[in-house]
Structure 1
Amino acid sequence: MQKRTFTDQMGRLISFSYPPQRIISLVPSQTELLFDLGLDTEIIGITKFCIHPREKFKRSTKIGGTKMLDLRKIRELMPDLIIGNKEENDRAQIEELMKEFPVWMSDIQVLPEAIDMIRQIGELTGRLEKAAVIADDVNEQFLKLEKIHKPYRTAYFIWKDPYMLAGKQTFIDDILSRGGFENAISEDRYPEISADQLKNLNPECIFLSSEPYPFKDEHVKEIKSICQDARVSIVDGEMFSWYGSRLLLSPAYLRSLR
């Protein structure tokens, strides 16, 4: 096996024996991508949130949560490549792992960066051809998504107590825009909002995401009592925030929401 050097999406150089034989994935959407690339035997550890594909989740070794990794377990597994994400993983833990292992990090806020990540992960795992097919298909599906003359003003909830919404400078915001939904929130990242502030925003649509907070039907009624004229619904959060091969399903889902 030869040693090769790659640049991750944070501009860091990492070197490891190529192709990697012992991979740990720290992010659900990227874990699903790795399995879809046919790396079943190479994946030796995933997080407890890496639920897709279901049958492979059940039989894979778990190494904690995305922001609470079990560093001892990771060390015991002796990976030759760890794949994480700037936003989803804890910086201090990632920096600790970087001292001991090659750690490739993604940094994604818009769809083109997600498509680039798919290609790059294909290259660094020796599955470039399969990854290129997925990346091209994702790009084509989004290009076919029809434009809407007047996008729906939409508030996208990710949390309750306090209410937190997806704002600008997020991947969710980019997917909303591509789906024909204008983000009603002008602040960056994930601002908190009060019931009065939500009422003053007067959005046409309110999406309650299925993750990370598990919104239910009773929450639809709660929000509807605040914004009586808005269309309030629970949406599949994976279709807005998973930036791996699950993006193949997102355009059709966005079309159905319209």
Structure 2
Amino acid sequence: MDKFTNDLWKVLNGYYYSFLKALPRLALALVLFLVFMFLARQIRRWLIPRLTRNTDDTLLTGFLGDIGYWLMLILGLSVALGTIGLNGAVTNILAGAGLSAFILGFALKDIGENFLAGILLAFKRPFKIGDLVETQGVHGRIIDLSLRETIIKTLDGKDVYVPNGGILKSPLYNYSVDNFLRLEFSVDLDNRENYKRAIPLIKKALLDTTGVLHDTDRVPTVSIEETKSNALCMKICFWIKSHETETQAPAIKTEAIQNVLTMLRENGFSQPETESETKG
């Protein structure tokens, strides 16, 4: 028992003196890493304003600033590991542990995919800060793009973090590219009514609505969408500017519907009877 205790004490004592011997290098590595962390922050602060002078794309400048920050941080980590002599050890471990390397690579696959997708999105620029977009069931405005995800604020105020890889592989609808948006609604007319006379009246009601565009290539359209047993379903489409779609679109659409119904009623057009009214 005494021999075991003495051997254990010698081993622990050896680790203790090894730690004391390596302590200066550990302290130097920590200082070097903190210095590189400070430099990384300064590079990002220095880089972003200078990039902003040459472009108004805040999405791209912020992304490039983040890349500069992380590159400097990775360099600092490499220097710190080299200071304490772990470069060779890490290399040997990664070279010898094939299974571990495979598991690590599989675990980081999504991170790497999202990182590369973020780079492509930053340079391809299918959207910019403030654009109204829809992707993967998320509808809202772009507020930021990071190395891993794109942040979208939904119209009901939620911040959604969408992975960059998913955006790159899924359809992306950008409603702010040309600042135009088409709205539509349907109105049922009694199938005995003269729909040819109703169409110009509906168009006039739309053109009298504030916010509805009158451009030659974006004029309102009215057509018969379907026929029912006692009704003609009229499909009505019109265009608006989409700068403030969240607030403007519902108000303009509501006013358009009211104007159309009022116009039809004032000109003697009737709505089809419902099933309950027919039975009554």
TM range (shorter): under 0.3
TM-score by structure 1 length? 0.23
Tell which structure's C-alpha radius of gyration is larger.
Answer: 2
Pick 1 or 2: higher relative contact order, CA cutoff 8 A, min separation 6: 1
